[in-house]
A and B are shown apart, each in its own frame.
Chain A
Amino acid sequence: MTTPATTDKALLEKDRRAFLLVWIALSAATVLAWLLAPGEPESSADLGWGPAAAIVLLGLVKCRLIIRYFMEVRHAPRWLQTATDAWLAVLWITLLGIYLFWPGSQ
């Protein structure tokens, strides 16, 4: 197999470390978001705006880490970075807006 002539072992090693750190951050963010959510079926508490915003923020950060690092968009052309960031921002802001501000939703 012909590897790209531009392959640089040091850069690949750097990427490997970055991927492992991102994986740790993603897993930690998942557990943190779980702790923010209300408890088991007997719990009747709704999310307040604070935990809801925190869960959305954690979700957005997780998605961006996956896109930027795992999907390698951080080295991609700018149009793709803009398109994926726009999707993330529009989606998560809309979801949070509906959750918090739709009449009667809270």
Chain B
Amino acid sequence: MTGTATRGTPRRSPDRDRRLPGDIDMWVMVLGDLFFFGCYFVTYMVFRALSVEEFSAAQRHLNIGIGVTNTVILLTSSVFAALGVIAVREGALKKAERLLLATGACGVLFTLLKVHEWHSEITQGYTIQDEFFSFYYVLTGVHLAHLVLGLLILGIAVRELRDPRGRRPGIIEQSVLFWHMIDLLWVVIFAILYLMR
């Protein structure tokens, strides 16, 4: 590729032809998840609007520093995962494996911080008896369940990379796609629970 050839008229190599990352089955799952989470986000916002004083007061008890830290951790995990896919395409399988393991490590760190946050809130008496915290625990809990599933799927991807008979790029793409969805959903959860108060 030459620099001059790409100026003005971006070159479309075969690699840049439109293609579905991962496969259609994973996209059906991702789009379905996005739809149902979206409905839940809107439901939360309606309930918040109906009891705005109570929700706003409860939201101020969240530790926004942990929320920001967890957001950056998940964003970092996502860039590791995206770089892992590039490494697979380059054929650098060991590097890809390390990047996917780093992605998983970020996921474990997120989980530990989230459990610490829950523990701290519960010991302060913020339980599901409060309407805001009932939404909070369900939203973050369902999200964390997805994250744990994501860790399992990442484990399958790492196993695929280690197996000389396997190593299908499509499997890695699908695994990483699911992981990005977890990051994507957290960005919305962080905004509506921690910031819009």
Interface majority SS on A: helix, strand, loop or mixed? helix
Q: Contact check, B76 vs A23: say whether CB atoms are below 8 A apart.
A: yes
How many B residues touch the partner, as a band? 35 or more
A residues within 8 A CB of B93?
A: 1
Q: From residue 48 to 77 of chain B, which have CB atoms closer than 8 A to chain A?
A: 48-50, 52, 56, 60-61, 64, 68, 71-72, 75-76
The answer to the question of B188 belonging to the interface, with a C-beta cut-off of 8 Å to chain A, is: yes
A83 nearest CB neighbor, chain B only: B31
**CB-CB under 8 A for A33 and B195, given A75-B18, A102-B49:** yes
Interface majority SS on B: helix, strand, loop or mixed? helix
The answer to the question of B13 belonging to the interface, with a C-beta cut-off of 8 Å to chain A, is: yes
Can you spell out 5 A-B residue pairs with CB atoms less than 8 angstroms apart? A4-B15, A8-B13, A22-B79, A38-B60, A102-B46
The residues of B with any CB-CB pair to A shorter than 8 Å are 1, 13-21, 27, 31, 34-35, 38, 41-42, 45-46, 48-50, 52, 56, 60-61, 64, 68, 71-72, 75-76, 78-79, 81-83, 86, 88-91, 93, 167, 169, 177, 180-181, 183-184, 187-188, 190-192, 194-197
